[in-house]
Structure 1
Amino acid sequence: MSVYHRQPTSASYRHVVPMLILLGVTIYLAACTMAPIKVDSPVIVPTLLSTPTPPDTDATWRLIASGVEIRQIEAPGLPVQIVRIDPTQVRFVVAYDPTKPRTLQAWAVQYGAVAAINGGFFDQYGEPVALLISDQRVIGTSYVDQGGMFAIDAQGRPHLWSLAEQPYDGKPFAQAIQGWPLLVRRQGEAAYTVADDQRARRSAIALDQAGRVLLIVAPGASFSLAEWSQFLATVDLAIEVAVNLDGGSSSGLIAQGHQGGVRVDPFVPLPFALLILPL
């Protein structure tokens, strides 16, 4: 019968093992204590131009350039963006090129504009479906008994009126665009009341009671035309008269200055645009 004999463990080995274990634990704890803790870099999310303004600053106009102020107003979906223009401190140009439509930003850069908005409706060839005047050149045919007309006379003064109340008689203007429908008539009354559920991006041009020009865009598909008309007639912008411009994918508004700006890009290139240039 064989007998199994366990090998004796030396005293030195018995002492070394615990010491090695203790040393390893000590080194590990020291490494954990001294190693820098990795913190992920913060992710910066770009602020959208349409980010809502806090209620206490909602009515604040911000001057960004000579004669140019911006503001946004809470509305269903995205806030409505407004640029208010003092016509005595700027000049207006209707840029037009149906053969080479451009982004609104490209139009603004080409002319050195401080603000820009899309114009009225156009066809598949880039031609206006109503009247347009660019540097005294008349293109297209005026709306009859509908819509409105924004025009700049030879002295640089803005005019905006209902074409149903005052048809265009061929009077020469330096610049002009027409839109449809009229949204706000004199005395601040909503001018379009045909109800429908077709909501889209909207753009408009208006004159306020002080004679300033308002460029207005709703960047979200939040309003039907009747709702857009009612909104502009009741919002605290002191609008005297307003007309709708080409909405949907054409809606765009840009204003840029030393104190910030606003940018709502159209989804399509534009054959013409209304530009506001510094004097």
Structure 2
Amino acid sequence: MHSVPRAGVSRLILALALVLALVSERAASAEGEAPLSYRFVETPGGVGAHLLRADLQKVELRMLYAQDMGAGALTARQFLDRTGATAVFNGPFFDLDGSPMGLLVVDGVERVALRPVDWGVFSLTDSGPSIVHTRDWKSDRQVDAAFQVGPRLVVDGEVLSLKSQSARRTALCVLPDGRIEVLVSPGSIRSDDLAGFFAAEGCSDALNLDGGTSSQLYLRRAGIVVDEPGGVAVPVAVGLFVAAQEAQIEPRRGCAAFRSCS
């Protein structure tokens, strides 16, 4: 048996102590954050955008299907009013007849089948949220919510090569600790700037959702409203539900509150 020099043991103990300290610090920081937080941010291209961050161990994420509410399509605000969600944003692409264009799982039930296209799939299981390529999607597990859309923006922390196109955007990313971030831009933002923003946020994977006139967000909590209306109603949206805890709101510069700031 080889003996370890005393100096080596000391360095090992010091290294372990530093690792434990970092883990404790990060855990304490995470515990201090609100389950659902909102802030208005500036992206690399100088475009302002709404940003939500949610801890899905404390915030319920549900796919909202207008068809289940007796409607062909609804706005984010209408979805929120009908479900009691804390925040609602638009989801995947849809066809001219309002049919979702790709995989859709609502409350654990597959409502629309997977489409063989070069997109990504966001899903939520007991293990947490994830984003994978269409070809890597596996349906042999219990999935609470899922939708298919694209393109992917960030994969394993790296920005993908994207077409330099500008539009209003809605996008979602998964952080290494299992939280998600959702960005909705009131103005046009380039896809590569959006990807760069998520990479700088530390996201492991990010996915572009439906955009343009579909992009919309409605948040209502403790008398404060964040309203970013879209140009059209949508058949599918994503709802975030916070029980008994208030969302953390950071007002946009120039707005004391978001009651009428959209």
TM-score, normalised relative to structure 1: 0.68
Structure-to-structure mapping, 1:69-84, within 5 angstroms: 69-75=37-43, 76=45, 78-84=47-53
Per-residue CA deviations over 1:76-111 (Å, capped at 9, x if unaligned) read 464121111111222111111244211110101111
Counterpart in 2 of 1:140? Answer: 112
CA distance in 1, matches of 2:120, 2:128: 13
Query: Does 2:201 match 1:231?
Result: no
Counterpart in 2 of 1:254? Answer: 218
Q: CA deviation at 1:254?
A: 2.3
Structure 1's unaligned 5+ residue stretches are 1-64
Counterpart in 1 of 2:65? Answer: 96
Counterpart in 2 of 1:181? Answer: 151
Counterpart in 1 of 2:100? Answer: 128
Out of 153, 176, 179, the residue aligned to residue 209 of structure 1 is 176
Q: CA deviation at 1:241?
A: 0.9
Q: CA deviation at 1:147?
A: 2.1
Counterpart in 1 of 2:247? Answer: none
Distance 1:170-1:251 versus aligned 2 partners, 3 A rule: farther
**Highest CA radius of gyration, 1 or 2?**
1
Q: CA deviation at 1:170?
A: 4.5
Structure-to-structure mapping, 1:1-279, within 5 angstroms: 67-75=35-43, 76=45, 78-98=47-67, 99-144=71-116, 146-153=118-125, 155=126, 158-164=128-134, 166-186=136-156, 188-191=157-160, 193-196=161-164, 198-223=165-190, 225-233=191-199, 235=200, 237-258=201-222, 260-279=224-243
What is the percent sequence identity of the aligned residues?
27
Does the 8 A contact of 2:150 with 2:209 survive in 1?
yes
Does the 8 A contact of 1:104 with 1:265 survive in 2?
yes
Structure 2's unaligned 5+ residue stretches are 1-32, 244-262
Q: CA deviation at 1:259?
A: 7.3
**Aligned residue pair count:** 207
Distance 1:208-1:261 versus aligned 2 partners, 3 A rule: farther
Q: CA deviation at 1:161?
A: 2.0
Distance 1:80-1:172 versus aligned 2 partners, 3 A rule: same
Q: CA deviation at 1:133?
A: 0.8
Q: CA deviation at 1:149?
A: 1.7
Q: What letter matches 2:54 in structure 1?
A: I
Residue 73 of structure 1 aligns to a residue in which SS? strand
Per-residue CA deviations over 1:9-44 (Å, capped at 9, x if unaligned) read xxxxxxxxxxxxxxxxxxxxxxxxxxxxxxxxxxxx
Per-residue CA deviations over 1:199-225 (Å, capped at 9, x if unaligned) read 1001111111221111111220132x3
Distance 1:176-1:74 versus aligned 2 partners, 3 A rule: same
CA distance in 2, matches of 1:205, 1:221: 16
